[in-house]
Amino acid sequence: MCSSDLLEERYDRDDEYTISASQLTVSDRARREYQKAVDRLEKYDVSRAVEHLRKAVEMAPQFAAAWNYLGTIAYHSGDYRQAEEHFREALEQDAGPYSPAVNPGGVLISRGRIEAALPLNDRPLQARPDAPLAPPQLGHAYPSLHPLGVPAA
């Protein structure tokens, strides 16, 4: 896996193409497990992909992209509790990338914890108002908080 595979969309456009020091310490073996997971997902083999991702984070607990992918799989499998844990771990390992920063907010919205989700979406939204995930998540959340569509003054 080349270093460009580690690049993720970041909060700040000026920092968009940087790699954190912790992610540079991810071993080649862990990266190969990650790539095997991606290959398995391309073949719709989710269970084997999860096995490879788990191996990757065992080898390199700081591997934020692998934690984020585990969270994405858990989310799409309907296991929101596990998804939230994985996304939060990704965020703890590397607070820079956009996806792990905004993904916990989506999980909380799915779990009906709208008010807890709002601050998690605020920072990514402020930094990247044109990014694809935070605005729709907030658009989904606000009607639940304000059924008439008008926030309280």
Q: Which residues pair with 10 in a beta bridge?
A: 97
CA dist 40 and 53 (Å) reads: 10
CA distances, 79 to each of 49, 58, 72, 75, 84 (Å): 16, 21, 10, 6, 9
> Which tens digits make up the pLDDT trace of 111-123?
887 777 777 766 6
**Residue 27: pLDDT above 90?**
yes
Name the residue with higher pLDDT: 78 or 11: 78
| Token couple for 70 | 């585990």
Comparing CA positions, the residue from 5, 60, 64 lying closest to residue 35 is 5
**Residue 13: pLDDT above 90?**
no
Model pTM? Answer: 0.70
How is 36-95 classified by DSSP, letter by letter? HHHHHHHTT-HHHHHHHHHHHHHH-TT-HHHHHHHHHHHHHTT-HHHHHHHHHHHHHH-S
Amino acid at residue number 55 = K
